[in-house]
A and B are shown apart, each in its own frame.
Chain A
Amino acid sequence: MRDVARDPAALERLRVQRSRLADRMRPPWWWWSGVAIVWALAFACPVGSRFLPQGVRIWPILVTGVAVACLLQWGLARATGVAVATPMLRYPSGRPAGIAMIVVSVAALVTETFLIDRGLLVAAIVVAALAVAAEVAGQRAQLQRIRHDLRAGGGPA
């Protein structure tokens, strides 16, 4: 078997291989679409809770959102061959993006509720759409940080 001592470029080779592994962490189009749908479901809750017909509950929508999110994580691991569990908690470099996503979601939900209370339904829908775009951008930033960690060999904490 070949030995590292006879191959001085071993570490350089490992860097190239890690870079190849990081490049695999590029989600397919359906993942991005799914993420946008999940966030849209989440931000539709304030509007839905006021305007859904009587007898229709909001919690099945939330449960569906969580189920779709889990399916997306599973599908991403299948598609890329690389499973990264709970990126928000385990990847320190992706934490700022994760915290920003939480702040945006709380702020958007509060703003939506505030606007709906004042009868500004269109404005609430615009806020929800902007929040979905911001969350998808946050997710993109988080994945970028994970790719960077994989390249550098940083890894989760």
Chain B
Amino acid sequence: MTAKPDPLIHPITRLSICGLLAAGADWVEFAALRDTAGISDSVLSKQSRVLEDAGYVEVRKGAVGRRPRTWFRLTAEGRQAVEGHLAWLAQLEEAVSASTRDVQARLLPGDRDQPRRVLPPLLGSS
């Protein structure tokens, strides 16, 4: 699996939908997906349609009595794209936390030389 960003999955709502569907369940029901993602019915309908049109999500519709039931699952193509995107995000997260650690290591409490080391580059003087 190659870590690469996917612009279709990048928006946070679609990332939530795809990330939940890629968690390991075979099919996830509409209400379960809506509640766990914390989104509204209309948002889920709209975003799932986009993902379905892209071939990332498979939709199965049924009914229990008069109540309609909609189930979602990732297609093979969708799973591949989600896994690549999540790997890319994990790399991004790691890079951000590494640079934060680096900055924190430079700013040591009780370091008297700190202003002399840190300020000149920030002020643009050597």
List A residues at the B interface (Cβ < 8 Å): 1-5, 7-8, 10-11, 13-14, 17-18, 20-22, 24, 77-78, 80-85, 90-91, 146, 149-151, 153-156
Candidates B11, B12, B24, B90; contact of A156 at CB < 8 Å: B24
Residues of B within 8 Å of A80, CB to CB, are 32
Q: Contacts A17-B37, A21-B32, A82-B28: A7 and B12 contacting too (C-beta < 8 A)?
A: yes
- Give the chain B neighbours of A21 by CB distance below 8 A: 20, 23, 25, 28, 32, 36
Contact check, A82 vs B29: say whether CB atoms are below 8 A apart.
Answer: yes
Q: Give the distance to chain B from A22, nearest Cβ to Cβ, in Å.
A: 8
Known: A4-B89, A8-B96, A149-B24. A81 touches B12 (CB 8 A): no
Give the shortest distance, in Å, between A17 (CB) and chain B (any CB): 5
CB distance from A140 to the nearest CB of B (A): 18
For residue B22, which residues in chain A have a CB less than 8 angstroms away from its CB?
A: 153, 155
Assess the A10–B36 pair: CB atoms within 8 A: no
Residue-wise interface mask of B (12-30) relative to A, using a CB-CB cutoff of 8 A (1 in contact, 0 not): 1101100110111111110
Q: Is B105 an interface position by the 8 A CB rule?
A: no
* Interchain CB contact under 8 A, A13 and B26: no
Q: Which residues of A contact B19 (CB under 8 A)?
A: 14, 17-18, 153
List, in ascending order, chain B residues with CB within 8 A of A153's CB. Answer: 19, 22-24, 86
What residues of B have a CB within 8 angstroms of the CB of A22 in the complex?
23
Bound complex: CA A24 to CA B31 (Å): 12
Using CB atoms, name the residue of chain B closest to A18.
B23
* Cα distance, A16 to B118, chains bound together (Å): 37
What chain B residues lie within 8 Å of A20 (beta carbons)? 35-36
Compute how far the CA of A83 lies from the CA of B21 in the bound complex, rounded to whole angstroms.
Answer: 11
| Contact (Cβ within 8 A) B25 A4 | no
A83 in complex: contacting residue of B13, B16, B20, B27, CB < 8 Å: B27
**Complex: how many Å from CA A126 to CA B23?**
40
User: Among A20, A78, A81, which residue has the most Cβ atoms of chain B within 10 A?
Assistant: A81
Tell yes or no: B113 within 8 A of A by CB: no
Name the residue of chain B whose CB is nearest to the CB of A1: B11
Question: Taking CB as reference atom, which chain B residue is nearest A25?
Answer: B25
Q: Chain A residues with Cβ under 8 A from B89's Cβ? A: 4, 10-11
* A153→B55 CA distance, assembly (Å): 21
Cβ–Cβ < 8 Å partners of B38 in chain A: 17
Q: Which residues of A contact B33 (CB under 8 A)?
A: 81
How many Å from the CB of A122 to the closest CB on chain B?
43
Q: Which residue of B lies closest to A6 (CB)?
A: B12
